[in-house]
Structure 1
């Protein structure tokens, strides 16, 4: 009995001690989010001297934090939390097996000082910068030769403060190509999700030479007259999924690319196995989905569905030219709704400038097996402008179950077709003679693959972040 009483006394004492200690334990900062992979180690930007006042430059804080966390890349990975505040920074690098999480009340502001943006070489598949002959400013968030990178949040914001860059572009004052907001190169297993991107100096999201890429739940906002503010540009990428995004842009909402003229041909890395779905786009001067014009490495197996286009120049646009080489093939688009468009469909073999004068004039692009089905459009100026190349016509075009309501001031001839070949079925207004009607019995003629691409089978999981408040 004495032993039992002694045990109970010790137990009560220890319990009381634990209660006292628990009252002293700092409150945990804790939240959950969805990601492809979770991390074992966590830190906040404020742990590394970050100041979110909108004026203090945080480039060193970001880079020091990420460099420190990189030590955990082979031991469970790490995550960096950007808390509420306005975090001014220049370009910084991310690392492998790493998550950057941006709080909904956090804004990462791109510096207005060119000195905060390192200059890097042109992309090898382009041979030069897009704005200038020379190099290019590195993106705000940059990574190369990485594995397993997640840039996400609960709708936190990246603000590129692009007005200064747009004015320099318009006035010819750029020494190098403008920076993007996010660029990941030569990497595998990338997730970019649940963020708002505003006022990018140029393109917003640019995965290039990468594979297994998910871009999901992104809102992109830019003035519709801002130059080259493309939304999402998968470039020489394999196995990519773009979904549930809302984009207002001064250029194409999604622009699929793979290199420019002889440089893209030599690099020879196509964009393929691309899924685009549940996208809403507003772009009065450009396309909702553009293929090209830099497509010299090839574009194939693109599957787009459940797309909403509002007040945009064209719904689906294929852009190429003599000298591009490469190919655009096996393109499948279905269930697209368009409201107030200049063209529903546009293809051209005479688009865009060249990287230099060394392109091969005999490098003719191939465009074949392009399928559009189950679409409705209203208030459209012209149904389609389909212009191939005289000695390299675009072939295998199929348009089925498409109704296009023309605007009051629509063109008298709704279809303009040259140097193309294909079929149609159940299309209003009636297409051009180069797309002969196969009759209502062929209304489902245009195919759409029913198998899943590997990227579609990748699932997210619930991850947690926590740290002790000091």
Structure 2
């Protein structure tokens, strides 16, 4: 029978105001000393806390009806110490990147229980505009950071109101995230849902994610480079809403990404749908997107992205940092409806290779007030915003591109900045198999190949 360590027995008050950090941490430490068990946050109370450090062999159990809320005092979150000055290693040096919950170098951790973990984002806000939150106070704590951990399960929990990234596993292996809700303010910049950073063997399933920044993002940051590629990732059965991008690989791409599957998901009321943004020396290969419904729309100008349902770009971040390669990316059985089309863009000296769109329907209409006729390439060396006609499918600087059973459909009475069903520029080995679509505006070319 699992040993239970009830935080009320350690002096936690649970009135939502008193800082219960010390009581909760004592329960965590005793659980670890005993060899593992369950740290229980009982239902019916709200527990206020600063940094909590989890240990191995532990189920951090926030009971259904209980809430853990982040303290609004920034002094309750120790400053980052990413690396030990002597060894240079992350696992010995990282304490917390300003996080509410943190674990480093630990194994067999579960966070569950049906309750709520609340980031108290309002405490870290300054000025709120109708479309965007500005004047944000820094540093803002991540809700959960897990560094160099193995065998992690996060299930049946609500993570909400984060002031920064919600869930950030860095250099972790064998992660299961299932049946969770992530609910963040849709105006709060940088409130990413799940950031997989140099992680291996990850399964994410049956989650609902609503946040202002990327819902699920795979990245390889420079500071965790020692942990190698992001690989063997399966995402299935998720519903996502984002003011930025629903699913993204990038832009931090110092290491490789490979063997990634996104299946049976719904994306709606989002700025961008499925994206790959390669900007550093890492390579992206063997990626599959299948059985997905996407709805995208324009948002306030300060948000990056222009309602692209699918966007794949490989662009140099700056003159000193050349982008790696993208190849073997497959999109199948996808239905898109939005205010922009598919956007694929490499570079003349670094074309994107082996891209397939198979059974993809792209419907484009206009219903928000924000200006169109723009592609957003940021971050990149050149001008980040490219003003040109928006095509149903736009592809530039690519090789071996197949559009099979792709259909482009336009709405009625569209602005003049909508153009061809297909525009291809500097694309070699372009294969069109049953491609259907006409130009949005009478008199413009249906298919434009340059």
Higher CA-based Rg: 1
> Which of residues 252, 255, 260 in structure 2 aligns to 1:294?
252
Query: What is the rounded CA distance, in whole Å, between the counterparts of 2:76 and 2:65 in structure 1?
Result: 24
- Name the counterpart of 2:78: 118
- Name the counterpart of 2:153: 191
1:358-397 equivalences under 5 Å are: 361=320, 363-378=322-337, 380-397=338-355
Query: What is the rounded CA distance, in whole Å, between the counterparts of 1:290 and 1:55 in structure 2?
Result: 37
Cα RMSD, aligned residues only: 2.5
- Name the counterpart of 1:171: 135
Query: What is the rounded CA distance, in whole Å, between the counterparts of 1:374 and 1:283 in structure 2?
Result: 22
> Which of residues 47, 52, 69 in structure 2 aligns to 1:87?
47
- Does residue 66 of structure 2 align to residue 106 of structure 1? yes
Give the match's secondary structure for 1:223.
Answer: coil
Q: Is the CA contact 1:388–1:418 (under 8 Å) kept in the aligned structure 2?
A: yes
Query: What is the rounded CA distance, in whole Å, between the counterparts of 1:420 and 1:55 in structure 2?
Result: 57
- Name the counterpart of 1:62: 24
Give the match's secondary structure for 2:258.
Answer: strand
> Which of residues 195, 201, 204 in structure 2 aligns to 1:242?
204
Query: What is the rounded CA distance, in whole Å, between the counterparts of 2:164 and 2:217 in structure 1?
Result: 13
CA pair 98-173 structure 1, distance change in 2 beyond 3 A: closer
Provide the TM-score with structure 2 as the length reference: 0.78
Query: What is the rounded CA distance, in whole Å, between the counterparts of 1:122 and 1:312 in structure 2?
Result: 33
> Which of residues 392, 395, 406 in structure 2 aligns to 1:427?
406
Q: Is the CA contact 1:382–1:415 (under 8 Å) kept in the aligned structure 2?
A: no
Give 5+ residue unaligned stretches, structure 2.
89-94, 128-132, 298-306, 374-389, 409-420, 436-450
Give 5+ residue unaligned stretches, structure 1.
1-38, 128-134, 355-359, 442-470
- Name the counterpart of 1:273: 232
Give the match's secondary structure for 2:275.
Answer: strand
Give the match's secondary structure for 1:251.
Answer: coil
- Shift of residue 268, structure 1, vs aligned partner: 6.0
- Name the counterpart of 2:184: 222
Give the match's secondary structure for 1:227.
Answer: coil
CA pair 112-296 structure 1, distance change in 2 beyond 3 A: same
Query: What is the rounded CA distance, in whole Å, between the counterparts of 2:251 and 2:365 in structure 1?
Result: 28
Provide the TM-score with structure 1 as the length reference: 0.75
Which is bigger in relative contact order (C-alpha 8 A, separation at least 6)? 1
> Which of residues 202, 206, 213 in structure 1 aligns to 2:164?
202
Q: Is the CA contact 1:210–1:238 (under 8 Å) kept in the aligned structure 2?
A: yes
Query: What is the rounded CA distance, in whole Å, between the counterparts of 1:203 and 1:256 in structure 2?
Result: 13
Query: What is the rounded CA distance, in whole Å, between the counterparts of 2:83 and 2:288 in structure 1?
Result: 29
Query: What is the rounded CA distance, in whole Å, between the counterparts of 1:88 and 1:56 in structure 2?
Result: 6
Q: Is the CA contact 1:302–1:331 (under 8 Å) kept in the aligned structure 2?
A: yes
- Does residue 117 of structure 2 align to residue 158 of structure 1? yes
- Shift of residue 137, structure 1, vs aligned partner: 4.1
- Name the counterpart of 1:327: 283
- Shift of residue 432, structure 1, vs aligned partner: 3.8
Give the match's secondary structure for 2:29.
Answer: helix
Give the match's secondary structure for 2:26.
Answer: helix
- Shift of residue 438, structure 1, vs aligned partner: 4.2
CA pair 219-351 structure 1, distance change in 2 beyond 3 A: farther
Q: Which has the higher helix share?
A: 1
- Shift of residue 40, structure 1, vs aligned partner: 2.5
- Does residue 264 of structure 2 align to residue 306 of structure 1? yes
Q: Is the CA contact 2:189–2:213 (under 8 Å) kept in the aligned structure 1?
A: yes
How many residues align structurally? 376
Query: What is the rounded CA distance, in whole Å, between the counterparts of 2:321 and 2:294 in structure 1?
Result: 37
Q: Give CA deviations for 1:18-62 in whole Å, capped at 9, x if unaligned.
A: xxxxxxxxxxxxxxxxxxxxx621121101111111111100011
